[in-house]
């Protein structure tokens, strides 16, 4: 009986941690996409001088090459940011319940 409880608790903790990591990765990706899009829009709108434009564009191309590519549009990035935020909250709740359950089991067995 004890091994069943141990496996269930471990599974809940691993699931919660995995969910938090995936949510964090999704939040990071959406944030990078939004920041990258904002930088591109600002550059296009301001139109820097010829010399500075070439230097700025080269710098942005280097950054763009190292960053993950942006999604199709800002709306999908904002939705992804919100979705991953909710997923992080749900995963944190799973961990909270798992830790409370472990505490109750320890209190009961003690």
For the segment 20-73, what is each residue's pLDDT rounded down to a tens digit? 888 889 888 888 888 778 766 765 666 554 435 655 666 777 777 777 665 567
CB 31 within 8 A of CB 74: no
Domain regions of the chain by residue span: 2-109
Q: pTM score > 0.85 for this model?
A: no
Residue 8: predicted pLDDT: 66
Task: Please tell me the distance from the alpha carbon of residue 42 to that of residue 35, in angstroms, as a whole number.
Answer: 11
Please name which of 94, 102, 30, 18 lies closest in space to residue 68, comparing C-alpha atoms.
30
Per-residue pLDDT, 56: 65
């Amino acid at each position: 009986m004890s091994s069943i409880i141990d496996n269930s608790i471990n599974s809940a903790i691993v699931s919660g941690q995995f969910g938090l990591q995936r949510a964090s990765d999704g939040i990071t990706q959406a944030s990078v996409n939004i920041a990258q899009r904002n930088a591109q829009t600002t550059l296009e709108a301001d139109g820097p001088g010829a010399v500075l434009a070439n230097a700025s564009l080269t710098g942005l191309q280097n950054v763009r090459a190292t960053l993950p590519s942006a999604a199709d549009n800002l709306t999908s990035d904002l939705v992804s940011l919100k979705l991953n935020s909710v997923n992080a909250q749900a995963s944190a709740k799973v961990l909270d319940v798992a830790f409370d359950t472990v505490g109750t089991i320890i209190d009961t067995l003690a």
